[in-house]
Amino acid sequence: MWWEECKSIEAKIIAMRRDLHKIPELGFHLPKTREYVTHQLDEIGIPYRLSEKDSSIIATLKGKHPGKVLALRADMDALPITEDTELPFCSEHKGCMHACGHDAHTAMLLGAIRVLYPHREELSGEIRFLFQTAEEQAKGATVLLEKGALEGVDAIFGMHIGSILGKDIPSGTIVCVPGPVMASYDRFILEVQGVGCHASTPEKGIDPINIAAHIVLALQAIPSREIAGTEPAILTIGLIHGGELYNAIPSGVRIEGTTRAFQEDVRQRLAKRIKEVSENTAKAFGGSVSLTMDFGAPPVTNDSDLTALAQGCLKEVFQDKLLTHIDKPSMIGEDFALYQQSVPGCFLFLSSSNPEKGTDYPHHHAKFTVDEDVLWKGSAAFVALAEVFLKGQ
């Protein structure tokens, strides 16, 4: 089987991950990352297209005969976090770090291309390798969709490394389950407006800090008192900013938070009630509020037929380290869900949680890193999926 060849290039996959780890970049524009990835693609000889809007890349492998079209996706962007791992290949970009494993995702997909490309004449159909930007902002998938990345595509697979589904899942285990696996995630911003005044004469103003405090408390009741316990929903406030002096009432306060859900109607209900509750609370105290609802991505929901196909071929790769059931999905979000709105998709989870190696820190942590011993298995999973999906059609 072709996937076994990934073990022979394990050192190359690790080296690519380390190279990418040194040059983390944020958002849509990843010039050094794109230059590195395209250099690897040129070395392999595979053709690719570049986006004019961002740093995303679409590489294409065409088989000898017509057939289905499969897409495989990796994200490339990093996070605004100062690294604290003391790794010899730690970030060279101050205040920026691959703290979510996207460097590993990119390296694993590049490893899969290195194995698949020499076998192209044995395949029927086409593989599109999508290297995406701005996943952390839930915006990068949209750019690739606008570029036509999924036109004519029959199915898409993606993968996330780390411990998203729990650090107790042993390193080297792959999780492949049908149905909802990750929640929707959206951001909301509330600008509370009052009237500033001196702290000694609060009656002469309208206190936005007081209003903000009541809004925060009122919002907490939405998921606990308005959403059924059988419908998971989270509303979290992560930022409050207002005031500059201890003895002055400011004119405004900014509140930011996030919502998570698995059902679209719950997702929309949360947004609607945030607006209603915050506006009426502010009005009750004589102030006002404006809401910006930044919708990120819907829930990641794996297609049942595609997941069954994946489970069948991944069993050979991972043996007893294949999980086909989880007790509960993750409330973390992923814009891979946007691809699943266009074509059947399946999102996999590759555990790299190993306490003995210090790779069990949570995602977005300054000490986050991955167990590099599992990287070749990520490449092997992509290769196995492509081989089963396209070979011998």
Q: Residues annotated in the binding site for Mn(2+), as ranges? A: 100, 102, 136, 160, 364
Tokens of 87: 């790794």
| Distance (Å, whole) CA 248 – CA 124 | 71
| Distance (Å, whole) CA 71 – CA 109 | 11
Nearest 5°: the CA angle 83, 85, 87 is 110
CA distances from 224 to 165, 235, 249, 333 (A): 24, 9, 32, 21
Tokens of 204: 């002469």
Given a contact cutoff of 8 angstroms between Cβ atoms, the answer to whether 57 and 34 are in contact is: yes
Binding site membership: which residues? Answer: 100, 102, 136, 160, 364
| Distance (Å, whole) CA 183 – CA 266 | 11
| Distance (Å, whole) CA 98 – CA 30 | 13
CA-closest candidate to residue 294, choices 140, 143, 132, 138: 138
DSSP letter at 352 equals -
- Tell me the DSSP string of 169-210: SPTT-EE--SEEEE-EEEEEEEEEE-B-EETT-GGGSB-HHH
